[in-house]
Amino acid sequence: MAKAPDASVARTRLVHGAQAVAPFVVLAAVWQIAAWNLPPFLFPSLVAVFGRVFDILTTWGEFSHVLATVARIMAGLAGAFVLGAAIAVPMARSRGADRFFSPVLNFFQGIPALSWVVFAIIWFKGTEQRIFFIMLVTSLPAFAFQVLGALRAVPKDLFEMVLSFRPTKTLMFRTMILPAILPEILTAWKVNLGNASRVVVVAELVGATGGVGYALLLQQQLFDMAGALAWTLQLVFFVLLAQSIITAIETRAFRYRAVSERAL
């Protein structure tokens, strides 16, 4: 009797997997048809593209560019998250702080990434300082507002009930605040990873001598579409891998939810 539910779950997962893969299969088929009918410098074959992907992954001189870009993304996001959280906490606790920081963050959010690139080139001499600054300021407003929203979403009644037990600040944060805000924080990281991968390419295109953005600039100068796609896919793979890791963390951290849903 226990085999029927297992078969149903397996069938459901198979259907969901097929639905997730189907759009990419269609996209690949359309691309390959275009490659058969158009010049290779416009639409290279998928074999050529993934051949270049393999070359990048197996050649240290090229793969080091990917690692450099990944390090820049993670450093910029980590800095933006820490600073954004440091701004969000007083905003959540004080209306005065909220009225002070909100207009500044909204103003920063309206500045295009390319403008920050120009500012960074003027203000900073080193390439890494420029890119870190660009990643920091472009990701900061989103992290600050997302952490602020998570803090404000903590139920006030629950907060006051926990306070009645007179917990220490550390215990209060660990047992109530962190579990309440962690889902939105993890979602913020997923969203900002995609945004950061786009911004870092712009930063490296203009002011770097290494990284995926720099490699894309070289492919553009050579009119190498297969190479441009291969380097772009490196960032796509990184974002997908990082988001999968975050999803796994989320699933493990909140596995009690599945138990609660089954109990209902």
| Cβ–Cβ under 8 Å, residues 250 and 184 | no
Sequence-separated (6 or more) residues with CB below 8 Å from residue 186: 246, 249, 250
Within this chain, do residues 164 and 192 fall inside the same structural domain, yes or no?
A: yes
Within this chain, do residues 156 and 170 fall inside the same structural domain, yes or no?
A: yes
Within this chain, do residues 26 and 91 fall inside the same structural domain, yes or no?
A: no
Q: At what angle do helices 178-207 and 127-152 cross, to 10 degrees?
A: 150
The domain of 30 spans: 1-37
Q: Output the tens digit of pLDDT for each of the chain's 264 residues.
A: 445 556 676 777 777 777 778 888 888 888 889 889 888 888 898 899 999 999 999 989 889 999 999 999 999 999 999 999 999 989 988 899 999 999 999 999 889 888 998 899 899 888 889 999 999 999 999 999 999 988 888 777 666 676 666 766 676 777 777 777 888 888 889 889 988 988 888 888 776 788 898 899 889 888 889 999 999 999 999 998 998 898 888 888 777 655 444 444
Q: Is 224 left (phi over 0), alpha (psi -120 to 50) or beta?
A: beta
What six digits make up the tokens of 43? 């639409």
Q: How far apart are CA 2 and CA 262, in angstroms?
A: 16
Domain count of the chain?
2
CATH number, domain at 42? Answer: 1.10.3720.10
Within this chain, do residues 137 and 124 fall inside the same structural domain, yes or no?
A: yes
Within this chain, do residues 56 and 135 fall inside the same structural domain, yes or no?
A: yes
Q: How far apart are CA 232 and CA 221, in angstroms?
A: 16
> To which H or E segment does residue 120 belong?
helix 113-123
Within this chain, do residues 29 and 44 fall inside the same structural domain, yes or no?
A: no
Within this chain, do residues 26 and 124 fall inside the same structural domain, yes or no?
A: no
Within this chain, do residues 122 and 12 fall inside the same structural domain, yes or no?
A: no
Q: Is the dihedral of CA 135, 137, 142, 147 positive or negative?
A: positive
Q: Is 223 left (phi over 0), alpha (psi -120 to 50) or beta?
A: left
Within this chain, do residues 31 and 69 fall inside the same structural domain, yes or no?
A: no
**pTM of the entire predicted model:** 0.83
Within this chain, do residues 25 and 139 fall inside the same structural domain, yes or no?
A: no
What six digits make up the tokens of 228? 């441009």
Within this chain, do residues 45 and 92 fall inside the same structural domain, yes or no?
A: yes
Within this chain, do residues 30 and 45 fall inside the same structural domain, yes or no?
A: no
